[in-house]
Structure 1
Amino acid sequence: QPCACGRSGMKSYFLCRECLMSRPECKKCFLEHHAKSLFFHWAYEWDVKNGYFVKKDVSAIELGCSRDPNNNPVQLIVAEPNGVHSTLVRYCRCASAPDRWDQLFQADMFPATLESPGTAFTFDCLRRFDIHTKTSRKNAYDYCLYLQRITDNMFPGNISDVYDNFLVIARVWQTLMIEKWLGQGHGIDEELPDRPKGNVIPYCPICCEQGVNMEQGWEHSPYVLSHLHQSRKTIDGNFQANRYSKNADPDDHSFFNGRSFFPSKEEVDEYERTVPQLQSFKHKADCGWIKAIAKQNSKKFRGMDITGIINRQCDHVFVEASANMTAGERYATTDLCQAKAEGLRRVKPGQKSHDKVVSYDAMCAYCVNFKKRFQKYFPHLYEDIKSTRVCIPLVHVQNHADICMYLYASVYKPCVGRFIGETAEMLWPELNQIGGATRQMTPGRREDTIIFHMTYWNFRKQNNTATTLYNDLVAAIQLYRDHRDHFLGVCEALGREKVDEYNVLDRSPEIDPKNKKVFKSVYAHDQSKGLPLVVCLTNSAHLFLAPSRDQLLDTLKHSTETKQCGPTELSIGEIVTFIMEGITIQEEQRPLRRKVAAVKSRKTRDMAADRCEMEKLEKERKKLEDRITTWREAQATFMPGCWEHVAKSHASNPENEKLFLPSDFGAGDRVRLGLESLAEEEARLREAHGIDLIARLQYICQIISALNDRKVIHTRGQDQHTKSSKLLKTQQDLRMARLADYNRNRKALDHLGKLDEDYFPFLTTQDTYRKSSELKRRIGDSRALDGRLWTAGARLTTTEEAGPSTKRVLLDRGEDVSPGMRILLSQFLNLIAVCSCRDSELSEAKYVFFRLSLLNYFLNILSANRHAPMVSPRKLKQSKGKGKALEELAEEEAEEPLDEVEDGKLWRVRPKAGFSQEEMDAFMEESECCFRLLLSACEA
């Protein structure tokens, strides 16, 4: 068809399929539309003879202003994202014209050579490859194959192969882009004079850097706020980023030459000559994890001159430095990586260094001579690292010796916060994808390729910094509230005496000089006294905060005070004796009902056994009936107004007879019947009984925890599993029974109108969860708090000064933990003035108090949310049947829990042969010190 331009004789034979909504047009129209900037679009010319479009290249590119007819075009192969073009280029030949390679640069094309370039790559092609290789790990070979295939997918062999030139140009392009992005072409070194000159490392914008992101006067902050000015680093090695020992160009070195993550070749060669440890790898280690590292099979390193890399990153996962490993993860190589990273942020002479914490999976052996080696081989960096604290990542430390947990776990380091230390592993899955390619490269190209990907990794991390920090801050605030409420609740539950006793304990672990595997720590049981069979809470806080029921009853029996009971005035002693007898009868009725139900539900019938069992039950019924009759006679004196209710009661058996205690009546009926005095005394007894039940539950739950631990560690074989499972089932049933007793007692208090919801919360099986005090800290323990059972009995009240949480703990009745804001600010100023270092005269308790009070104040400003979530314990597996059974036990009088096993007899610790009395006393003393472990776990 004729072209729409209307030119005479011009047919619409040309089509561009890359232009949006294009239509066939004539040759002149096509060239007019594509001559300025779209000359790399493919031209599809209609073949009149064969009747189809033929793909062709635009034949000439004008790069200059010359219109000299003698300026003949030159052949040029151009790689563009839509394929490889074989085109003609006419260069400018004016007297002031730049060189040909410069003209190509000005046209956004990168020439493969400087003299008479015959191949060029467009900037868009190089830019797209840069993104592809860093995001999808596409290598240069596959990208060049893509260019050939997209040019002619049927006959790709007919297309020019640009792979060899592309390898060099892509590497140069990526290097130049890093130089430009990181400011080396814009005088960045003049703006940041404290950084190494010429470095092209993307710095973490969050980590502390003096003169950049640290406020003035930070060095005057007290030690308890050192985490606000702290750098946390992680170190880890990767054996996938290795390199085969093969012939390579000896002159191929990294383009960065020590200005990026890797040290320069000259620095490495000099270091290898001076450090003997690189030539030998022999050290003695007591930790099993370190022994495993030392005994790595050297055969897997056969044929490799570089066995991997070791990285140092910050806790925000920004890579700071890398070093090549040879024949394993040697400490001298780690030192070189550390030195490279420390050189990025130097401390000027006379300046105070901020707090630094370094995490490494082999830290227990690495740190022994770490600072001595730096003092010898890197003396210019010794001042920067001499105060560095060390730890082991929280996942790796699980596989170390037990002592490593308490010496190097970050959770037991003061003012470190939630430093997991495992973030160094996050880069490896990304970097491992290019391991198959880099192990075949020359040394220089391999380093540059790894640098390209690490630089892009840091760039991506910087893009997400703001969102990540915000989410972490919100989560940290909420987690702090949960832990603060739980910690203060445990302090209240244990009592002032135990808290004061704990505050004076040294948090640092002590190693036995005679046996380095034996240690003492406030966070673990004393190993020198043996591991307790059962950690008991006989000295539980509740026994200090309130008397037990028996103690209260004994005290009230001797009281001379009197109260009016109907027409009669009776002494307090007589009233509580009467009420206590009624409560005791109720407690005897429930096991008897359970026994009767068990006999009736038997599937197999043995007439003789049933007859014997029924005779026993009848004797128990007769005994209980006589006791109820005697109590009824006293009830006529103490509760004369309720006799009409007793007369209407029709119970065929004594175990089902309702006693009509004050808690069995509503508030209105108690007033009408004159039972207020009796109700007050019953409430006092039931409150004391609630405290007893909490202590019993805690004791039972610790038995269950100990049995679970020992079943996993020691039980082997079917017979042992059967016995241990039976013991465990017995205690679990007893726990459900005590829970039902507690909730039933709580319900009676509610009927009496004396229930304190905070002091006696409703408890379920999940609320009895407790982290083991005998096992090492596990992953996720910081997210799993102990159940409400372990803070039940603590007086929690809502106050305005407490901060955003809903509950506030008062350690002494009526005495607030936190004083007014004026006192808080006064103490804050005093701390800044007199305790800028740890060697202050202030006690550890004051540090803890100040930290809690100040955080309360700051969090009150940060958030207006005043609702703390419910405790979410670790995965607690329980069947629906258990939950339903517990609910039935608590709510229905007809169902009854198992018989109570007397506390302290079944589980009494018996001396083994060969144990002296002094050793057993020490053993029992350690068992009774679980308050220390409970507080330690909360504090950590």
Structure 2
Amino acid sequence: MMLDRVISGEGRGKRRLWAACGECGEAEPTLRCRDQDCLGGQMFCRRCILLRHAALPLHWVEEWDGRKFTRRGLKEIGLRVQLGHAPLEAGPGLPGHNRGAICAFRTTANKDFVVLHTNGIHNVAVDYCGCGRSEEARDQLLDACWWPATPMDPQTCCTFTLLRHFHTLNTLGKVSGYDYYRSLELLTDNTGNVKLPDRRRPFMRCAREWRNIQLFKRAGRAHDPGGIEGTEDGGLSLFCHACPQPQINLPENWRDEPASTAFKYFLHLGQDANFRLRGRLVSSDAKDPTLGQGLAYFVNKIPYTEHIKNYVNQDEISSCSGFAAMFLANLKRVKGLRTSGVGGVTCTRHNMWRANGMGDLQKGERYCNMDWVLASSMRNCEILYVIFTYDIACQYYKNFWDRMRKLPQYLHLNIPPSNLFFYVPNFHLPPHKDDCHGPFSLHFAPGVGMSNGEGIEQNWENSNGAASQTKQMGPGSRQDTLDDILGAHNYRKTLALRRILLKRMIEALKEGVKHRRALDAFTAGLESAEEGLTARWEKEEREWQQDKSKPCPYRVIRKGTSLIFKWRRLTSISGKTMKDIELELAKEEFEVTASNVQVVHESSRSMFVVMGLEIEEAQRVLDFDVRAKKAATTYQELEFQKRRNELKRKIDRFRTLQDIYMPALRDELQPEQAALLKTNAKKEVESIKLFLPSALSSNKRANACAPGVSDIEERLRLGEATDALETLRDGLRMRTVTNCFKIENITGQRSNTRAQGIQHQIDVKIHSAKAYAALVGPGPWANLLQVLGDEDVRALNERALTTEEKAEEERMRDGGLLNELASGGVAAAGVVVTGEGRRTLSWIWYTGAAGGMGEGEQSAAANEALRAEWCKGMARAARWREEIILLEEEMRRSITSAEYMAGKWEERARWRAAAEVDAGGALAAELAEGLAGYAYEHASTARVRVGVLRAAWAEVREKAKIVLDGLDSGNLVDVTVATRVETDENESGDHGMYEELHD
């Protein structure tokens, strides 16, 4: 039915539409304009349709030849566009009455004059006004909202509508200029039978000029008496409304804030390098200069380049991370590139780019580049304390202040060395050496809240969409485009603060109470066993915060060779952890690359296997979470689906690599198994079988896999199992003691519930580790790393379940009455209990060790693990409390910043006019009105935003006061927030804020 209705529009339609001209009544007219701004399919005669389109010269019309319609431009049927005068229009009641005027002194534009509009490429007949009051052709075109490609004798124009349209698509969707122009060609003629004028280069020039003018316009440079020439470095950038900004959103006495809450005014910055935003050796700075050198987000290139020349032979920053070999391998691919990437700085709390916080890299990630970019982004910074995160901060901080002193004086930082704190982002920290984990972890850093330091990585995800187009550009075009894209990102993040801060606050109110309650229960249990124990640990933690050379309280320091609490590593097998093996493989592959051996794919064999292992773990975790929520809410189902979508994409990438490194896999599988390799297989992604080499028999594995792949998996599996066993033991040590406290010291329903919360956290760690302990292939390890069953996962003071208890547990689990986690045993209290004679230790406690120790040493070792776990719990509770305080302050600052901008724009409305009067002149009336209109429009928008933010955050800010009072007094209060968070799963920069484990 709908198809028939649509296809009927390819003819003239109902008779009433074509029997007579819709304006003058002439019989059987032949022209119509439909499917644009003109409504319906009414047909008109030539004279009337020209009069109706005198002010709509960029419509397409269709002409009926008796059998079909043929598309025509309005120029083809005689329309001429008169600039500088009102257009010809049909007068009321008098068809064809001339209400406009044709200039008697008109001059004709180029005969090939072309206008680019959102609906295609138009040849237009244009007449310029030549009267005494006439203006330059360029100005007449601009008054018509047509942007000329050249200032003198233009032959091409782009409509303002088209430039806005492309500008939005380019900054948001990263649509390239080439692709956009190709779309205009297809909209104009999709048959390929018509030769269209090639105006791609003029379009690119117009788009670049437009984005540059918009930057100046939105920064208020038209209102400033200094104009464009008076723009300071970074003056075109958008500042973060939620970050501390002196003279903008901070109270006058902010410098006098007590030490206990001074962290509210810390500035959180993050730095990183990105090797995807490369630039080819195309054009030159002389032929393609930037239109705003150093005025937005990129550093001023001139002094930056002079500085870099002094460090031509400087090596890349070293890293203790296991990723170092891969970084080095990436550096080899720089041939034909002017820039190998960029280094950037953002505020890590809100993921907004800093002014002058971006710079091109020439050869890897070197100190000379990164120092300049950081110092430039902090130029004139008045904040007293800075939290700085960098994935290689553990190396970067060394000699940092010596390097700063070598920079020009105007880039020297205004803060003392003791007030700049270096940390590694949460996701990047685990691969670092153990010695880095405590001092450089945000989890243990006072005053940082729940910041993860990974914001810049999320920003790269957004900007990398432009990599393919900017890589081909000349230096100036590339920098101008990236400046614009970074600015658009900052603007969208400013708008998103309402949703993001609300979402974070709701989460923090819940988590703050939960973690404090868990800590209090844990502390009470410990204190009941040994009074003053936690106070001693807390004192040790404070001392460590002051002197990081002391033992880290968050790290378990194992001593001796206790049967229970200390095991030697499986040196007879591998002697290496998972990360040791990954680094070893990365170095081997780098050596192969360095030897000019041909590499078949960008992703190596080890990366393929590691990807498979990571996917398997993600599948296990997702499957566990889904089964644990049998009656999931709509929101939970949405979160599960998002995780399935992401996992599906990873599996698709894995299958692509599998075709390379396991090329004969399909031949070795049964038909029903081979069907599972299809990416559209109808199975839940958490149950899709990957078919890693270990899943095949030895013969099939030899036939299916590329050389070395099976060996790599065996090495990684062994390291994985070794790590898992160590983690399992750590977790069970926690459960051993908490079982004792729960049975012997904790009574009452409320206390038992709290204790169960602590045990649940430990159980999650144990079974997450257990999922890794899948071993492949026979070997001597079998006596040390045995198959791990649920009954093996038992603490020292837990006995194995009986057959009846196992059956009952399974029944309760199936009925949803029991958590999906298997307990493995029943807690036993006391020295001798029922069944003690038959109770046996799980193999995990004595594998790989020999000898025994006394009860006193066992207790000391248990306390060592407990201390680390308690300190982590204390840190988690403290960080969530800080997060609530920080979010409340960020909400206040965001509102104050919007008020500031409203006042700023109201001032700008009068700036230039007042300056002209002071100089003895006056602005043209139309310019003065335009300046005021634009300024008051922005002021009004800012005022509305103030009201919107106040209303959106009013409830959670009140609830935050209640929760904080409870946390400080010890009378914990659970609050319910009625305000709902708008869901925007495509909003970049906030996902992952709380998704990583914070312990």
TM range (shorter): 0.5 to 0.7
Q: Is residue 373 of structure 1 aligned with residue 403 of structure 2?
A: yes
Instruction: Mark the structure with the bigger radius of gyration.
Output: 1
Q: Is residue 525 of structure 1 aligned with residue 556 of structure 2?
A: yes
SS of the residue 2:502 aligns to: helix
Aligned match of 1:454 in 481, 486, 504?
Answer: 486
SS of the residue 1:141 aligns to: helix
Deviations 1:170-227 (A, max 9, x none): 101011112212222233999xx9x956611111110011111112322222222133
Which range moved further: 399-408 or 220-229?
220-229
Q: Is residue 21 of structure 1 aligned with residue 56 of structure 2?
A: no
Output the TM-score relative to the length of structure 1: 0.60
CA 1:442 to 1:157, structure 2 compared with 1: closer, same or farther past 3 Å?
farther
Output the TM-score relative to the length of structure 2: 0.56
Cα distance in 2 between the residues matched to 1:138 and 1:428: 17
Following TM superposition, by how much is the alpha carbon of 1:271 offset from its aligned partner in structure 2, in angstroms? 1.5
Deviations 1:427-468 (A, max 9, x none): 223322221222221111111111121111111111111111
Cα distance in 1 between the residues matched to 2:25 and 2:763: 103
Which range moved further: 169-178 or 929-938?
929-938
Report if aligned partners of 1:184, 1:198 keep a CA contact under 8 Å in 2: no
Report if aligned partners of 1:701, 1:735 keep a CA contact under 8 Å in 2: no
1:901 matched residue in structure 2? 839
2:168 matched residue in structure 1? 131
1:256 matched residue in structure 2? 292
Q: Is residue 79 of structure 1 aligned with residue 105 of structure 2?
A: no
Deviations 1:826-853 (A, max 9, x none): xxxxxxxxxxxxxxxxxxxxxxxxxxxx
Following TM superposition, by how much is the alpha carbon of 1:135 offset from its aligned partner in structure 2, in angstroms? 2.6
Following TM superposition, by how much is the alpha carbon of 1:118 offset from its aligned partner in structure 2, in angstroms? 1.4
1:311 matched residue in structure 2? 344
1:663 matched residue in structure 2? none
Aligned match of 1:12 in 20, 29, 36?
Answer: 29
| Structural mapping, 1:236-315, within 5 Å | 236-248=272-284, 250-273=286-309, 275-276=310-311, 278-281=312-315, 287-289=320-322, 291-292=324-325, 295-315=328-348
Report if aligned partners of 1:110, 1:122 keep a CA contact under 8 Å in 2: yes
| Structural mapping, 1:133-172, within 5 Å | 133-155=170-192, 157-172=194-209
Cα distance in 1 between the residues matched to 2:126 and 2:826: 88
2:389 matched residue in structure 1? 359
1:587 matched residue in structure 2? none
Aligned match of 2:147 in 103, 106, 110?
Answer: 110
Task: Read off the aligned partner of 1:239 and give its amino acid letter.
Answer: F
> How many equivalent residue pairs?
633
Task: Read off the aligned partner of 2:39 and give its amino acid letter.
Answer: L
Report if aligned partners of 1:534, 1:702 keep a CA contact under 8 Å in 2: no
SS of the residue 2:122 aligns to: strand
Q: Is residue 938 of structure 1 aligned with residue 956 of structure 2?
A: no
1:755 matched residue in structure 2? none
Following TM superposition, by how much is the alpha carbon of 1:710 offset from its aligned partner in structure 2, in angstroms? 11
Aligned match of 2:514 in 453, 470, 482?
Answer: 482
Cα distance in 2 between the residues matched to 1:906 and 1:464: 50
Report if aligned partners of 2:317, 2:366 keep a CA contact under 8 Å in 1: no
SS of the residue 2:516 aligns to: helix
Cα distance in 1 between the residues matched to 2:274 and 2:437: 24
Task: Read off the aligned partner of 1:524 and give its amino acid letter.
Answer: R
RMSD: 4.7
Cα distance in 1 between the residues matched to 2:763 and 2:126: 87
Following TM superposition, by how much is the alpha carbon of 1:928 offset from its aligned partner in structure 2, in angstroms? 3.5
Following TM superposition, by how much is the alpha carbon of 1:114 offset from its aligned partner in structure 2, in angstroms? 1.4
Q: Is residue 332 of structure 1 aligned with residue 336 of structure 2?
A: no
Task: Read off the aligned partner of 1:56 and give its amino acid letter.
Answer: G
Aligned match of 2:81 in 61, 82, 91?
Answer: 61
Aligned match of 1:43 in 40, 57, 61?
Answer: 61
Report if aligned partners of 1:306, 1:326 keep a CA contact under 8 Å in 2: yes
Report if aligned partners of 1:393, 1:409 keep a CA contact under 8 Å in 2: yes
Report if aligned partners of 2:518, 2:758 keep a CA contact under 8 Å in 1: no
| Structural mapping, 1:745-760, within 5 Å | none
Following TM superposition, by how much is the alpha carbon of 1:97 offset from its aligned partner in structure 2, in angstroms? 1.0
Report if aligned partners of 2:331, 2:363 keep a CA contact under 8 Å in 1: yes
CA 1:734 to 1:105, structure 2 compared with 1: closer, same or farther past 3 Å?
closer
CA 1:80 to 1:903, structure 2 compared with 1: closer, same or farther past 3 Å?
closer
Task: Read off the aligned partner of 2:313 and give its amino acid letter.
Answer: Q
Q: Is residue 503 of structure 1 aligned with residue 535 of structure 2?
A: no
CA 1:477 to 1:363, structure 2 compared with 1: closer, same or farther past 3 Å?
same
CA 1:68 to 1:421, structure 2 compared with 1: closer, same or farther past 3 Å?
closer
Cα distance in 2 between the residues matched to 1:14 and 1:484: 76
Task: Read off the aligned partner of 1:170 and give its amino acid letter.
Answer: A
Following TM superposition, by how much is the alpha carbon of 1:44 offset from its aligned partner in structure 2, in angstroms? 2.1
CA 1:530 to 1:81, structure 2 compared with 1: closer, same or farther past 3 Å?
farther
Aligned match of 1:464 in 488, 496, 513?
Answer: 496
Deviations 1:476-533 (A, max 9, x none): 11111011111111111111421222232144659999xx9xx721111226x35866
SS of the residue 2:47 aligns to: helix
Q: Is residue 346 of structure 1 aligned with residue 346 of structure 2?
A: no
Report if aligned partners of 1:257, 1:264 keep a CA contact under 8 Å in 2: yes
Deviations 1:756-786 (A, max 9, x none): xxxxxxx999xxxxxxxxxxxxxxxxxxxxx
Following TM superposition, by how much is the alpha carbon of 1:83 offset from its aligned partner in structure 2, in angstroms? 1.2
CA 1:226 to 1:530, structure 2 compared with 1: closer, same or farther past 3 Å?
farther
CA 1:374 to 1:911, structure 2 compared with 1: closer, same or farther past 3 Å?
same
Report if aligned partners of 1:45, 1:56 keep a CA contact under 8 Å in 2: no
Task: Read off the aligned partner of 1:154 and give its amino acid letter.
Answer: T
| Structural mapping, 1:794-873, within 5 Å | none
Which range moved further: 480-489 or 5-14?
5-14
Cα distance in 2 between the residues matched to 1:701 and 1:359: 28
Cα distance in 1 between the residues matched to 2:413 and 2:565: 46
- Greater relative contact order (Cα < 8 A, sep 6+): 2
Task: Read off the aligned partner of 1:457 and give its amino acid letter.
Answer: H
Report if aligned partners of 1:491, 1:499 keep a CA contact under 8 Å in 2: yes
CA 1:120 to 1:739, structure 2 compared with 1: closer, same or farther past 3 Å?
same
Instruction: Give unpaired runs (5+ residues) of structure 2.
Output: 1-17, 86-100, 567-741, 811-816, 829-833, 876-999
1:835 matched residue in structure 2? none
Q: Percent identity?
A: 21
Deviations 1:33-89 (A, max 9, x none): 2213x12111223336x6644523242001124645563543321111111111111
Task: Read off the aligned partner of 2:388 and give its amino acid letter.
Answer: V
2:470 matched residue in structure 1? 438
| Structural mapping, 1:174-213, within 5 Å | 174-187=211-224, 196=232, 199-213=235-249
CA 1:130 to 1:301, structure 2 compared with 1: closer, same or farther past 3 Å?
same
Instruction: Give unpaired runs (5+ residues) of structure 1.
Output: 348-352, 537-685, 745-762, 766-871, 890-895
Report if aligned partners of 1:71, 1:90 keep a CA contact under 8 Å in 2: yes
Cα distance in 2 between the residues matched to 1:183 and 1:339: 26
SS of the residue 1:389 aligns to: strand
SS of the residue 1:301 aligns to: coil
Cα distance in 2 between the residues matched to 1:905 and 1:111: 80
Cα distance in 1 between the residues matched to 2:217 and 2:389: 33
SS of the residue 2:426 aligns to: coil
Report if aligned partners of 2:525, 2:746 keep a CA contact under 8 Å in 1: no
Report if aligned partners of 1:290, 1:362 keep a CA contact under 8 Å in 2: no
Which range moved further: 926-935 or 19-28?
926-935
Task: Read off the aligned partner of 2:325 and give its amino acid letter.
Answer: A
Report if aligned partners of 1:711, 1:724 keep a CA contact under 8 Å in 2: no
Following TM superposition, by how much is the alpha carbon of 1:240 offset from its aligned partner in structure 2, in angstroms? 0.9
Cα distance in 2 between the residues matched to 1:702 and 1:535: 17
1:580 matched residue in structure 2? none
CA 1:697 to 1:295, structure 2 compared with 1: closer, same or farther past 3 Å?
closer
CA 1:107 to 1:935, structure 2 compared with 1: closer, same or farther past 3 Å?
same
Following TM superposition, by how much is the alpha carbon of 1:297 offset from its aligned partner in structure 2, in angstroms? 4.9
